[in-house]
Structure 1
Amino acid sequence: MLAVTVIGNIGNDAEIKEFNGQKFIAFNVASTERYKDRQGNQHSRTTWVSCLKPGESSVVTYLKKGTQVYVRGSLSVKTFNSGNGVQAGVNCLVRELQLLGSKQETQNEQQQPATTSTPPIYTPAGSASPFPPENEKDDLPF
């Protein structure tokens, strides 16, 4: 088995498709790699991955064009004949899927300056904090 991990943006709204009596969620993910060459010129290369996730679930409603996702699964490569000659397509049978956010949310986060303040830890009233008080001594032998 060839395992693959892809982080990228969905290129089309996901659809439920049926193959040999089994239902799958079908969508495409574009993963873009940005790099500089020796002369300092910036380049980018986008790889498209066709994804199939077995089963059907309500997650399909969130898999919209532009949504950033993390996908892990089994990799396969299929060759096909096109008008330009033989080409290959990268496919992934998805085992794990996580939504990372929409393209717009990701762009907004990149445009906003990072803050250095630490957000407060939320502790419901009446419950103990999972962290010991700062002034409490620990019993570690070192």
Structure 2
Amino acid sequence: MIKLQIIGHVGKNAVENDVNGKAVLNFTVAHNERYKNAQGMQKERTVWADCAMWAPNAIGPYLLQGTLVYVEGTPYIDLYKASDGTPAAALKVRVTQVKLLPGGPKAADGKNAAAETPAPEPTEELPF
């Protein structure tokens, strides 16, 4: 098994979807990294990960846009054609664990406690 660990910010509020009668929590996480290019100039890039976690799960209301999170799961790459017809790829993660990290926005109920929530075991493939 390959395991991917990401620390980043939630891109937009998590959404619970129904897939074949089972609830799945979908959200995106952005990770920013700084590096120096071959000419020694400081650069920054953002890597986005599309995350899916079997739900129901109590963490859903806390996964708000801008929240800093730690996500762990099994990665895979989805190859597709962009709207202009060029080949493209997306990083997808089947989430096994999420932790809220300090410093993010507050949930609707005003709480902002760091939490750890393991995801239930999937029973079938997640369609993205």
Q: Which range, TM-score by smaller chain?
A: 0.7 to 0.9
Partners of 2:24 and 2:104 lie apart in 1 by: 24
Partners of 1:95 and 1:5 lie apart in 2 by: 10
TM-score (norm: length of structure 2): 0.74
The alpha-carbon deviation at position 9 of structure 1 amounts to 0.4
Aligned pairs, number = 105
- Whose radius of gyration is greater, 1 or 2? 1
Conserved? CA contact 1:9–1:31, under 8 Å: yes
AA aligned to 1:99 is L
Whether 1:69 and 2:49 are equivalent positions in the alignment is no
Whether 1:97 and 2:81 are equivalent positions in the alignment is no
Q: Which has the higher helix share?
A: 1
AA aligned to 2:95 is V
For structure 2, the residue ranges without an aligned partner over 5 or more in a row are 107-128
**What does residue 27 of structure 1 align with?**
27
TM-score (norm: length of structure 1): 0.68
AA aligned to 1:83 is S
Larger CA deviation: 44-53 vs 29-38: 29-38
SS in 2 for 1:101: coil
The alpha-carbon deviation at position 103 of structure 1 amounts to 4.6
The alpha-carbon deviation at position 101 of structure 1 amounts to 3.0
Q: Which has the higher strand share?
A: 2
Conserved? CA contact 2:64–2:105, under 8 Å: no
Conserved? CA contact 1:2–1:76, under 8 Å: no
The alpha-carbon deviation at position 102 of structure 1 amounts to 4.0
CA spacing shift, 1:18–1:102, aligned 2, 3 Å: farther
SS in 1 for 2:65: coil
Higher RCO (CA < 8 A, seq sep 6+): 2
AA aligned to 1:7 is I
SS in 2 for 1:16: strand
AA aligned to 1:6 is I
The alpha-carbon deviation at position 35 of structure 1 amounts to 1.3
Partners of 1:27 and 1:102 lie apart in 2 by: 19
The alpha-carbon deviation at position 38 of structure 1 amounts to 4.8
Partners of 1:40 and 1:95 lie apart in 2 by: 38
Q: State, as a whole percentage, how many aligned pairs show the same letter.
A: 31
The Cα offsets for residues 95-127 of structure 1, whole Å up to 9 and x where unpaired, read as 01000134579xxxxxxxxxxxxxxxxxxxxxx
SS in 1 for 2:59: helix
Partners of 1:5 and 1:94 lie apart in 2 by: 10
